[in-house]
Amino acid sequence: MASPSGGFAPLLDSLRQLIANSRQQVLRAVDAVQVQTYWHIGQHIVEFEQGGAQRAAYGQRLLPQLGQVLAAEFGRGFDASNLRYMRLFYQAFPKRDALRHELSWTHYRLLLRVDSAEARQWYMQEVATHNWSTRALERQIGSLYYERLLLSQDKAAVTAEAQANMAALEQSPRAFVRDPVMLEFLGLPDTGRLLEATLETALMDKLQQFLMELGKGFAFVARQQRISTETQDFYIDLVFYNYLLKCFVLIDLKTGPLTHQDVGQIDMYVRMYDDLRRGEGDNPTVGILLCGSKDKSVVRYSVLNGSEQLFASKYRLVLPSEEVLRLELQRDREEIEARQDARGEDHNPNEP
C-alpha cells in the first residue's frame, strides 16, 4: 500500500479524528447511563433496607439473593459484590444532581476508597476539571495528594510533583475500553480480566489441563475468578474444588521471582475465600503460589513457613507437590517459548 503522504493525507487525519471523537462520545454516553443506573440501584437497595423491621429481616441475605437473580438475567456485572458497590455509591453520593458526568463508574469506585466526604468532592472536581484518567486518579489518591496539599506550606511544589507523576503515566485512549466493569454492564461475555500476558495465559492453560488430567478429585471451578472487598476487586488465576479433600484449591501464578507481596496476596486470597465462598462442610481453602524462582529467605520469614494451607503442605497425599507443579510449569514454559522461537525463525522480516 502506498504511503498516504500525497493529496489525501489531510482527509485521512480528519477521518481519524472524527472516528476517535465518535468513539469517545459513545463511551462517555455509556458511562453516563451506567453511573445513573448504578446510583438508582443503590438508592432502591438502601430505601428497601430502611423500610421497616419486615424488610430488615433480609439482613445479609438480601444482596446475595438479589445478585444471584440479576446476574443470571443481566450478567455478572450485577452480582452481589457489585451491588455492594452500588449501595456504597448511593450512600457516599446521596444527591444525584451532585454527580459529575465527566466521571466514569470506575472513577466513582476509586472515590469510594476515600473516607473523607470533603476529599471525595475535591477529587471529583479535579477529575472533571483536568480530565484525569482512572489511573491518574488512583495515583493521586494513593499518594495522598489532597491531604498533602492541605498540610503543605508550599502548595505549588506539591501540585508540580503531582503533575509530574501524572505525566509519567502512559498516555493511551481512555481505559474505558478495557474496563471490565463497563463491559459487564453491557452484558458482554468473558470480561473478568482482559490484560493477561500471552505467556502467563498459555501457562495457565497448560496448568489447568495438567491438574484436570491428574484427577484425584479435582473439579475445575473458575479462571480469573473475582473476589471483592468493599472497595477493591481481586482476580484468582485458577480455582479448583477437590472432592477428596473437600476444599477449594486456589492457584496464583507468577512468571517472575517470588516476592513478599506475592506471599501476602495468596494469603489474603485464602482468607477471603474461606470467609466468602467456603461452605459449612468444606475444609479450609488451600493456596498454591507458583513462581519462576523462589528466595528461601522470603519463604522462611513469611506466612508460608509452617502454614498448612499455603503450598498445600497438609494435603500432599492428594495434591501434587509444589516441586511436581514447578517442574510441570518449567517444562510447559520451555515448550511454549520454543514454539514462539520457531515461529520467529520461520518468518523472514525481509520477505515481502
Ordered per-residue pLDDT tens for the chain, 352 residues = 445 555 788 888 888 888 878 877 877 788 888 999 999 999 999 988 887 665 655 667 888 889 889 988 888 788 888 899 999 999 999 998 889 888 988 899 989 988 889 999 999 998 888 888 888 888 888 878 888 888 777 778 777 776 766 665 544 433 333 455 566 676 655 444 443 345 556 666 666 666 665 556 778 888 888 888 776 788 888 888 888 878 898 888 776 666 777 778 888 888 889 888 888 888 888 888 776 555 554 555 455 555 556 654 444 445 666 666 667 667 766 666 666 666 555 544 444 4
DSSP state of 224: E
How far is residue 116's CA from residue 118's CA, in Å, rounded to a whole number? 5
Task: Identify the pLDDT of residue 218.
Answer: 78
Do the beta carbons of residue 171 and residue 212 sit within 8 Å?
Answer: no
Its pTM surpasses 0.75: no
Task: Identify the pLDDT of residue 296.
Answer: 55
Which of 89, 85, 109 lies closest to 98 in space, CA to CA?
89
How many CB atoms neighbour CB 88 within 10 A? Answer: 17
Task: Identify the pLDDT of residue 352.
Answer: 44
Cell numbers found for residue 111: 472515590
Helix (H) or strand (E) holding 249: strand 247-257
- Between 155-167 and 134-142, two packed helices, what is the crossing angle to 10 degrees? 140
Which of 328, 319, 343 lies closest to 205 in space, CA to CA?
328
The domain spans of the chain are 18-181, 198-346
Cell numbers found for residue 286: 488451600
DSSP state of 76: G
The second-level CATH assignment, the architecture, of 198-346 is: 3-Layer(aba) Sandwich (3.40)
Residues facing 227 on adjacent strands: 234
